[in-house]
Amino acid sequence: MLQIFYESQDFYLLKELEKMGPKKGVISQSVKDVVQSLVDDDLVLRDKIGTSVYFWSLPSCAGNQLRTTYNKLESDLSNSKKRYMELLEQRDDLKRGREDTDEREDALEELKAVELRHKKLKEELAAYADSDPSALEAMSMRSIIPNFTVGVGTWTSIIVLIHHSDRVSMQTSHFI
């Protein structure tokens, strides 16, 4: 389809392209889809003038587009190379502070010993957590308060029933 545009360097309506498509080996039913894909790829330009939609493409436009794409890719490549060099430099800077020296090895051993001691102390603390007075007090208060509220509710219900039975003249034996 691009050959049609490049050979004549003219603009066309879609109906004209549908007539010319079979001459270039494109099925007439798929001309619209082919032209739309060329427009989407920016290989063919489209403009609506009034009620008509015109399509055109010039060989110089394709060349300009290729140059623009090439320049963009070159720019991306140079940015990627620059970023790569920065990362290599950053890696080297980080390695400088981590050379294997006796001092560093001693510090790492000391760190491991402190971490092991910390782990043992946490385990010991967890073992004594059951005997912690503040934890026991908090647990006992949590278990006592609901019992008190249930008891208060029960006694309140009994008192209300007794007052109600006095008004209705019922015997308390009916409630027990």
pLDDT for residue 52: 86
Ranges under pLDDT 50 in the chain: none
pLDDT for residue 71: 93
Query: Looking at domain 2-57, which of 1.10.10.10, 3.10.530.10, 3.90.550.10, 2.60.120.260 is its CATH number?
Result: 1.10.10.10
Please write the tens of the pLDDT for every residue from 41-61.
878 888 888 888 888 887 777
Q: Residue written as tokens 């090895």? A: 105
CA distance 118 to 169: 73
Please write the tens of the pLDDT for every residue from 56-74.
887 777 787 888 889 999 9
Rounded to 10 degrees, the C-alpha dihedral 70/74/77/81 comes to 170
CA distance 38 to 88: 42
C-alpha angle 11-17-23 in degrees, rounded to nearest 5: 120
pLDDT for residue 112: 96
Write down the pTM of the prediction: 0.38
CA distance 8 to 35: 16
Question: What would the DSSP string read from start to end of 18-74?
Answer: HHHGGGGT--GGGHHHHHHHHHHTTSSEEEEETTEEEEE--HHHHHHHHHHHHHHHH
Burial of 12 (0-12, 13-18, 19+ CB in 10 A): buried
pLDDT for residue 169: 63
CA distance 138 to 130: 12
pLDDT for residue 43: 81
Show the tokens assigned to 82.
């620059």
The residues with which 48 forms a beta bridge, in sequence order, are 53
